[in-house]
Structures are given as structure tokens and as C-alpha cells.
Amino acid sequence: MVEHVRERVAAIRNRIAEAARRSGRTGDEVTLLAVSKTHPVEAMKKLLDGPVDGFGENRVQEALTKRALWPDGGGLPWHMIGHLQRNKARKALDVFDRVDSLDGVDLARTLERLLQETDRVLPVLIEVNCSGEDAKSGVSPAEAEALLEAVVSGCPHLAVEGLMTIGPLGGREGEVRGAFALLRELRERLRSSFALALPVLSMGMSGDYVWAVEEGSTMVRIGTALFGQRSYD
């Protein structure tokens, strides 16, 4: 599987490009995040020279361990895509270039306080739970506005670039597309009420990225279809 990871990137890029054309866009308007959680650094190194746009990890400790083995100057950004506990925020800032799973005001304030120490600005996405599944993190669509307001007014070291969601797992096509369309419409609303660009819509994983791109995704997060099945989660 790992031997063929580069061919898989090319095949996924092709499907992204076709889906982007169907939504009136081009494939280069969609970035591809390789979700490397649970997979070894050796697998990630196959992508070192940049056929993908970054790596996604969901655990701070795992990412720290891997990044210590990562070659200096390996320039792709590392994205935190899982729920971040506040007591791990400082470590997360050591290892991640961006946090795509901002899901609460308390976390935003904790990150802001830590970022102030070095006057660093962190790009973030607000994670929205568009399918109402209890097990999922992310704010509800209704809470997203209040979280964005809190960040814009009180967290100058957080740069909100857009929204992220996880589609309903195992959902039917209509249901999955509906969740993605909800995120897109929420982005349009927030854009006009806050006068922010919010260019990033991170949606789409191995099982649903073609639908996500057709629904306007600008960033897909692909694990299994690139690296194979995970042995644990």
C-alpha cells in the first residue's frame, strides 16, 4: 500500500479535478491534506517533496513523536484536525502549523494567551458539527457565529481562515451532501456578517470527497484512500 502512495495521490488529484470542474472550478482550487494519523513517518516521507499540500494528525503526542523524526526543512504544514484539549495546547503549538479543529471559546482563549508570548499568529478553522451526531466534536451551526465573534473581538493571534466539518459517517448521498451544503451556506452567511474572506472550506474524506468538492470544498482530508486502513483509531 505505502509503495503506491504516490500513484494514489495522482489518482485522487484527478478525481478532485473532475469534481471541481463539475462545480465550475479547477482542481488547483482544492488543496489535498494527507491524513497520516496512525501511519508511520516512513509512509509520510514518500510525500516529502510535495505532491500533497500538508499533513493532518489528530493526536498531539503522536504528532510530536513523528515530527521529531521529520527531516529539517520538510516544508509541508502540519494541521491539527482532532479535538484539542486545552492542557495540550502548548505542546500542540510546538508541533502544528495550523489548527483546523477550533471548537470552543475556551480553547480559543487558551491558544490566544499562549500565542501572545511569542506574538505568533496561528491560522485556524472553526469546526462545525453539521450532522448533529453527538459523538462528534465541533460547534453547532448556530454556535459558530458566537465563536467567530469571540475570536474576532478577543483573539488577535488567531486568524480564522474558514470552516471545517466531518460529513455524516456512512450517510446516504443526500444526507452527506446536505451537511456539506450547510457548511457552505454557513460560510456565506458569516462572510457577509463579519466582512471576512473565510476562503477555506475543509470538507471531504476518503469516502465522500468527490461529493464534498462538488459541494464547494476547498480542502479535502484523505487518510485511508492514500495510506490504507488504519489498525487503530
Residues that bind ligand PLP (CB under 6 A): 35, 37, 58, 81-82, 166, 205-207, 221-225
Q: 190 or 222, CB closer to ligand PLP?
A: 222
Read off the C-alpha cell for 192.
457577509
Q: 97 or 149, CB closer to ligand PLP?
A: 97
Least distance CB 225 / ligand PLP (angstroms): 6
Looking at beta carbons, which residue is closest to ligand PLP? 223
Least distance CB 164 / ligand PLP (angstroms): 7
Grid look-up 471531504 returns 204
Spatial contact of 107 and 92, defined as CB atoms under 8 Å apart: no
Q: At what angle do helices 141-154 and 173-194 cross, to 10 degrees?
A: 30
Q: 110 or 165, CB closer to ligand PLP?
A: 165
The span from the CA of 74 to the CA of 45, in Å, is: 9
Least distance CB 208 / ligand PLP (angstroms): 8
Spatial contact of 179 and 131, defined as CB atoms under 8 Å apart: yes
Least distance CB 220 / ligand PLP (angstroms): 8
Spatial contact of 85 and 110, defined as CB atoms under 8 Å apart: no
Q: Helix, strand, or coil here: 54? A: strand
Q: 81 or 157, CB closer to ligand PLP?
A: 81
